[in-house]
Amino acid sequence: KEGNQRVIKRSEIDNQIMEILLESDVSLDSADLITEKLKERMGKLKRRVDFYSVEDELKNVIKEIISENQNRFDILNPGKKPYIILFLGINGTGKTTTIAKLAYYLKNNGKKVVISASDTFRAGAIEQISILGKNIGVEVIKHDFKSDPASVAFDAIEHARARSLDYVLIDSAGRMQTNKNLLDEMKKIKRVSKPDLTLLVLDAMIGQDVIEQANTFAREINFDGIILTKLDTDAKGGAVISVSTEIKKPILFVGTGQNMDDIMPFDPDWYINKIFSS
């Protein structure tokens, strides 16, 4: 973006906007839709326009789309005890780390939390969440490697009830949305734990596959909202826009690093700034 006044041809707007969106990993369909909306908004324009006014309008369009799906849900006052949150996602997106961060966040806000180590499958998963729990001073309920993840969750919920804790956070093994057995296992975890909130954890580096993943999980398991991790990287996290446009679920938190305080409630303005920073 050179200079203060960047005048472009009207006919170039489409291409330029598409490029910005696609390079941010916004899905192709969402990018089409946003470009259409933007053109509608800009109405009849002169043959040459100032690119910055187009960009400003684009920011408005994106903000609207994102905000439509954001609800005012206050995680610190969920109105039920224990409040049970289940985490879901494909392999390696950041579920376990996010759970520890969220537990830490809740704890720092005076809440009592227990974590269910329901990834009993991946090597080192129980150790990982146990170490994290110890570091943040939150108890982790665990069974043996390869044991039934649903019964770990059941025990964690019992534990929370008996001690009148505020939250139960249930970890789960990473699962591809193409793996029927693992989807069935997730259904069982959900049936047994009856979560108040199910969150899909997505990696900000994800590309066009986000829609396929989110749709399949929505259909097979259903979820209420999204956490996008790894936004401390160069990734723009266009998934936020894609899921807002096509899946219509809110983004609750974002992960911004590997440390325990690298989590924050999702803020559309912060996010839009990130996309447009070069």
Partner 1 sequence: MVLDSLSDSLKGIIRKISGSSYIDKDTIKEVSKEIQRALLKADVNVKLVLRLTKTLEDRAMNEKPPAGMTDQDYIIKIIYDELLKILGQNVNFELRPQTIMLVGLYGNGKTTTAGKLARFFIKKGFSTALIAADVHRPGAYEQLYQIAKEVNAQFYGEKDEKNALKIVKNGLNATDAKIKIIDTSGRDSLDEDLIKEVREIKESVKPDNVLFVLDATMGQQAGPQAKTLNDAVSISGVIITKMDGTGKGGGALSAVAEINSPVYFIGTGEHMDDIEIFNPKKFLSRLLGMGDIDALMEAV
Ligand X SMILES: Nc1nc2c(ncn2[C@@H]2O[C@H](COP(=O)(O)OP(=O)(O)OP(=O)(O)O)[C@@H](O)[C@H]2O)c(=O)[nH]1
Q: Say if residue 114 is exposed, middle or buried (CB neighbours under 10 Å; 0-12, 13-18, 19+).
A: buried
Q: What one-character DSSP code corresponds to residue 221?
A: T
Judged by CB, which is closer to partner 1: 121, or 276? Answer: 121
Q: Does 258 bind ligand X (CB under 6 A)?
A: yes
Cα four-point dihedral sign 241, 247, 251, 256: negative
Describe the strand order of the beta sheet including 139-141 as a list of residue ranges.
Answer: 139-141, 113-116, 167-170, 83-88, 197-203, 225-229, 251-255, 263-265
Indicate the SS3 state at residue 5: coil
Which residue's C-beta sits nearest to ligand X?
174
List the alpha helices (DSSP H) in 7-50. 13-23, 28-42
Judged by CB, which is closer to partner 1: 53, or 259? Answer: 259
Member of 149, 174, 225, 268 binding partner 1 (CB under 8 A): 174
Buried b (16+ CB within 10 A) or exposed e, 239-263: bbbbbbbbbebbbbbbbbeeebebb
Cα four-point dihedral sign 247, 38, 205, 134: negative
Q: Does 234 bind partner 1 (CB under 8 A)?
A: yes
Q: Does 245 bind Mg ion (CB under 5 A)?
A: no
Task: List Cα–Cα distances, 66 to 13, 232, 234, in angstroms.
Answer: 22, 20, 21
Judged by CB, which is closer to Mg ion: 95, or 101? Answer: 95
Q: Does 116 bind partner 1 (CB under 8 A)?
A: no
Task: Please give the Cα distance from 199 to 253 (Å, whole number).
Answer: 10
Judged by CB, which is closer to partner 1: 157, or 204? Answer: 204
Member of 7, 45, 76, 131 binding partner 1 (CB under 8 A): 131
Member of 13, 17, 25, 244 binding partner 1 (CB under 8 A): 25
Q: Does 27 bind ligand X (CB under 6 A)?
A: no
CA dihedral 59, 65, 235, 85 (to 10 degrees): 140
Judged by CB, which is closer to partner 1: 27, or 157? Answer: 27
Q: Does 23 bind partner 1 (CB under 8 A)?
A: yes
Q: With CB under 8 A as the contact rule, which of the stretches 3-11, 62-70, 149-157, 228-236 interacts with partner 1?
A: 228-236
Backbone angles phi, psi at 146, to 5 degrees: 75, 10
Q: Which amino acid is at 268?
A: P
**Footprint of ligand X on 93-122 (CB under 6 A):** 93-97, 119, 122
We find the least distance from the C-beta atom of residue 226 to ligand X, in angstroms, to be 14
Q: With CB under 6 A as the contact rule, which of the stretches 48-56, 187-195, 211-219, 227-235 interacts with ligand X?
A: 227-235
Q: Which residues of the chain form contacts with Mg ion (CB under 5 A)?
A: 95-96, 119
Q: Which residues of the chain form contacts with partner 1 (CB under 8 A)?
A: 19, 22-25, 28, 90-94, 121-125, 127-132, 135, 145, 174, 176-179, 203, 205-209, 212-213, 230, 232-236, 238, 258
Q: Which residues of the chain form contacts with ligand X (CB under 6 A)?
A: 89, 91-97, 119, 122, 125, 173-174, 176, 229-230, 232-233, 255-258, 262
